[in-house]
C-alpha cells in the first residue's frame, strides 16, 4: 500500500497549517474523487479502491461535473464553513476536519468530517454532536455501522504506534500490530537490521521520517514507490525527495491513475479482439469438421466414371456392385439404388460429386480468408499488449475503427501520433514498429537495399535496418534480429527464428490487413530476444 500511515501522517502534518481557519467554498465530485474547494487551494480526496489518497491538487473537472447525493449533502451543510481544527490519529490513515458554520437561520453548527484513506474501505463521514448525518459509503456489518442517525464511534485500533514498539518478536508481521507499518516498511526495517540491531534500525527509520520529506523512486522513468523515509532495500538508482509534499503524491498517483485508465482501455479493446478471435476459431473448427466429412468427395466422381464405363456389366435391381478401377487395378464396391439403372446411378454420383466439389471450394476459400483474418487479429492483439502510452493506444483504436472492429466515434485528437522506435547501432539506423500502422509505414518508406526483419511464424514488430551506402554486416543484422525477436510474441522464449531480406523483396498487396505483408528470397536466423 503506497499511501501508508507514514505517508498519511506526513501529509496531515504538512497540511494542518493550510487547512486551519480556511473557508470551504464548495464540493465537487468526479469518478470516486471528492474535491473540497477552499479559497486558494483544493483538497483532493480519492476514494478509488485501487489507489485511495489525499492531497492538494487543483481540480480538473468538466463544465458540468457529475452529481453525487453525498457531495450535494456536503454542499448544503458545509459550504461557507470554516475549518477550526485538524486532527490526526497518530499513524492511522484517518483525518478529522472540525468545521464551524452558522446556517441560514443563524444557528451555529460544529461538524466533524472524518476522511478514511483505507483502500476499498475508504470513506468520508459527516458527524454532528456524535451522530452520523451521512457518509459516502453507508455500511452495516458486524464490525461497524456507518448509517445516518446512528451514533458515531471512532474505530478503535488495537495497534500500537511505531514509537511504542519495544521488542522484535516476529519482525515480518509487525505491519499487523504497528500503526502505519506496511509490508514495504517491514522490508526496509529488515534490510537495515543487516547492519544494526532492531532498535537501532527502527530508530533510524523514525529519524529519517522526522526530517519531513517524501521520497519518489523511479524505474525505467516510471514512479514505482512513494515513501516518507528512504527505502534503501529497493536499491533503485533514481530517487528524488520532495519538499512540497503534494508534488510527490500527485506525480505518483497521477501515473498510477493514468496507468489504470490505460489498462482499462486496453482491456476493453482486448476483449473485442479476443471475442472476434474466439468467433473465428469456432467457425474454423466447424469448417474443418465439414471438410473432414467431405474429404472423400472425389470417390463419387470415381463411382460415376466406373458405372458409366461398365454400365453393360451392371445387372438390374441390385443394390451394390464390385467394379475394377482401371487406374489402380483395385476392386471398388459401389452402392446402388436398385430402382435405377447403371447410367441413372452414375448421374446421381456425378451430381453429388459436383455439389460437394462446389461446397469444398467454398469451404476452402472461407477457411483461407478466416485464417488470414486470424493472423491479423493475433498481430493486432500483440501490438495492443505492447502499448504503454495513450497515443499508441489511440493509433490502435483508429486502426480497429478502420477495419470495422469498433464503431467510429467523433472525438477530439488528444494525443500526438506515436512514432516507431529509432536507435543507432554500429553506424546504422534501426527502426522498430510499435503497431501495424507504423509497420506498414516502415515498409512503405523503406528503400530497396534496406534490410527488413520479422519474427518467423508469429506476431511481432517489423524491423528495418536503413542502408547507409555500404554493405550491412552480419553483426548488425543479428543485433536487429534479436530486437525483432524481443518485440514479438516470442520475447520470453530462448532462441527465436527471425526472417530477413532486402526491403525490395517485401510487398504489400491489395486486400492485406494492416501490418501483414508478403516477402520472398529471405534467410532465417535463430537469436535470443533482446529489448531496449
> pLDDT tens, 168-181?
778 888 888 889 89
Q: What is the mean pLDDT of the chain?
A: 90
Cα dihedral: 243, 245, 248, 251 (round 10): -120
Reduce the DSSP state of residue 418 to 3 states and report it. Answer: coil
Task: State residue 341's pLDDT score.
Answer: 92
Specify the residue for cell string 505491519: 175
The cell for 75 is 454542499
Q: Which long-range contacts (CB under 8 A, 24 or more apart) does 386-390 make?
A: 386/434, 386/435, 386/461, 386/487, 387/262, 387/266, 387/434, 387/435, 388/262, 389/262, 389/415, 389/418, 390/258, 390/262, 390/414, 390/415
Q: What is the pLDDT of residues 278-305, one digit of tens each?
A: 999 999 999 999 999 998 899 999 999 9
| Residue 354 pLDDT level (bands cut at 50, 70, 90) | very high
Q: What is the pLDDT of residues 392-447, one digit of tens each?
A: 898 899 899 988 898 877 665 556 778 899 999 999 999 999 899 899 999 999 99
Q: Would you tell me which CATH number, out of the four given (2.30.310.10, 3.30.70.270, 3.40.50.10490, 2.120.10.70), belongs to the domain 5-146?
A: 2.30.310.10
Task: State residue 31's pLDDT score.
Answer: 86
**Domain residue ranges in the chain:** 5-146, 162-243, 268-418, 421-527
Radius of gyration (C-alpha) of the chain in whole angstroms: 36
Q: What average pLDDT does the segment 137-166 reach? A: 87
Candidates 145, 138, 119; CA nearest to 47 is: 119
Task: State residue 172's pLDDT score.
Answer: 82
Q: What average pLDDT does the segment 347-365 reach? A: 94
Whether pLDDT at 80 is above 60: yes
Candidates 111, 121, 57, 115; CA nearest to 89 is: 115
Task: State residue 413's pLDDT score.
Answer: 58
Task: State residue 17's pLDDT score.
Answer: 92
Whether pLDDT at 506 is above 90: yes
Query: From its phi and psi, is residue 180 left (phi > 0), alpha (psi between -120 and 50) or beta?
Result: left
8 Å CB contact between 498 and 455: yes
Which helix or strand (DSSP H or E) is residue 84 part of?
strand 82-88
Query: From its phi and psi, is residue 404 left (phi > 0), alpha (psi between -120 and 50) or beta?
Result: left
Burial pattern 45-63, b for ≥16 Cβ within 10 A else e, equals bbbbeebbbbbbbebeeee
Give the separation between CA 486 and CA 460, rounded to whole angstroms.
Answer: 9
Task: State residue 415's pLDDT score.
Answer: 64
User: How far is CA 133 from each of CA 125, 404, 457, rounded to the nearest angstrom?
Assistant: 8, 51, 64
pLDDT above 90: percentage of residues in the chain = 64
Amino acid at each position: 500500500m503506497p499511501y501508508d500511515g507514514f505517508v498519511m501522517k506526513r501529509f496531515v502534518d504538512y497540511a494542518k497549517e493550510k487547512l486551519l481557519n480556511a473557508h470551504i467554498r464548495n464540493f465537487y465530485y468526479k469518478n470516486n474523487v471528492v474535491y473540497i474547494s477552499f479559497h486558494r487551494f483544493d483538497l483532493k480526496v480519492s476514494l478509488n479502491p485501487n489507489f485511495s489518497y489525499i492531497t492538494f491538487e487543483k481540480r480538473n473537472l468538466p463544465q458540468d461535473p457529475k452529481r453525487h447525493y453525498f457531495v450535494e449533502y456536503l454542499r448544503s451543510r458545509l459550504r461557507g464553513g470554516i475549518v477550526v481544527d485538524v486532527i490526526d490519529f497518530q499513524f492511522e490513515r484517518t483525518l478529522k476536519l472540525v468545521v464551524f458554520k452558522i446556517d441560514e437561520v443563524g444557528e451555529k453548527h460544529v461538524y466533524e468530517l472524518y476522511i478514511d484513506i483505507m483502500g476499498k474501505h475508504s470513506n468520508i463521514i459527516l458527524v454532528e454532536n456524535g451522530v452520523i448525518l451521512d457518509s459516502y459509503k453507508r455500511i452495516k456489518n458486524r464490525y461497524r455501522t456507518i448509517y445516518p442517525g446512528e451514533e458515531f464511534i471512532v474505530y478503535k485500533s488495537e495497534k500500537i504506534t511505531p514509537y511504542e514498539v519495544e521488542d522484535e518478536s516476529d519482525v515480518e508481521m509487525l505491519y499487523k500490530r504497528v500503526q502505519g507499518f506496511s509490508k514495504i516498511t517491514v522490508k526496509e526495517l529488515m534490510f537495515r537490521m543487516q547492519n544494526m540491531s532492531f532498535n537501532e534500525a527502527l530508530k533510524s527509520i523514525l529519524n529519517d521520517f522526522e526530517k519531513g520529506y517524501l521520497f519518489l523512486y523511479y524505474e525505467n522513468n516510471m514512479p514505482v514507490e512513494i515513501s516518507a523515509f528512504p527505502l534503501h532495500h529497493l536499491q533503485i538508482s533514481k530517487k528524488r525527495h520532495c519538499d512540497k509534499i503534494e508534488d510527490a503524491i500527485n506525480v505518483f498517483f497521477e501515473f498510477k491513475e493514468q496507468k489504470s485508465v490505460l489498462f482499462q482501455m486496453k482491456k476493453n479493446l482486448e476483449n473485442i479482439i479476443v471475442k472476434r478471435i474466439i468467433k473465428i476459431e469456432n467457425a474454423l473448427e466447424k469448417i474443418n469438421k465439414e471438410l473432414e466429412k467431405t474429404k472423400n468427395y472425389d470417390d463419387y466422381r470415381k463411382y460415376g466414371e466406373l458405372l458409366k464405363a461398365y454400365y453393360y456389366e451392371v445387372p438390374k435391381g441390385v443394390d451394390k456392385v464390385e467394379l475394377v478401377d482401371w487406374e489402380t487395378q483395385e476392386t471398388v464396391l459401389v452402392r446402388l439404388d436398385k430402382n435405377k439403372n447403371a447410367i441413372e446411378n452414375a448421374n446421381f454420383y456425378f451430381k453429388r460429386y459436383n455439389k460437394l466439389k462446389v461446397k469444398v471450394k467454398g469451404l476452402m476459400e472461407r477457411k483461407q480468408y478466416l485464417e488470414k483474418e486470424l493472423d491479423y487479429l493475433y498481430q493486432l492483439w500483440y501490438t495492443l499488449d505492447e502499448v504503454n502510452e495513450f497515443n499508441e493506444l489511440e493509433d490502435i483504436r483508429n486502426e480497429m475503427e478502420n477495419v470495422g472492429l469498433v464503431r467510429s466515434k467523433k472525438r477530439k485528437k488528444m494525443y500526438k501520433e506515436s512514432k516507431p522506435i529509432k536507435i543507432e547501432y554500429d553506424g546504422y539506423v534501426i527502426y522498430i514498429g510499435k503497431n501495424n500502422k507504423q509497420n506498414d509505414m516502415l515498409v512503405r518508406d523503406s528503400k530497396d537495399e534496406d534490410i527488413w526483419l520479422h519474427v518467423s511464424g508469429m506476431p511481432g514488430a517489423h524491423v528495418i535496418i536503413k542502408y547507409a551506402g555500404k554493405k550491412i554486416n552480419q553483426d548488425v543484422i543479428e543485433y536487429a534480429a534479436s530486437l525483432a525477436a524481443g518485440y514479438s510474441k516470442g520475447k520470453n522464449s530462448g532462441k527465436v527464428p527471425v526472417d530477413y531480406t532486402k526491403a525490395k523483396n517485401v510487398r504489400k498487396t491489395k486486400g492485406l490487413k494492416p501490418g501483414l505483408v508478403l516477402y520472398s528470397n529471405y534467410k532465417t536466423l535463430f537469436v535470443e530476444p533482446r529489448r531496449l
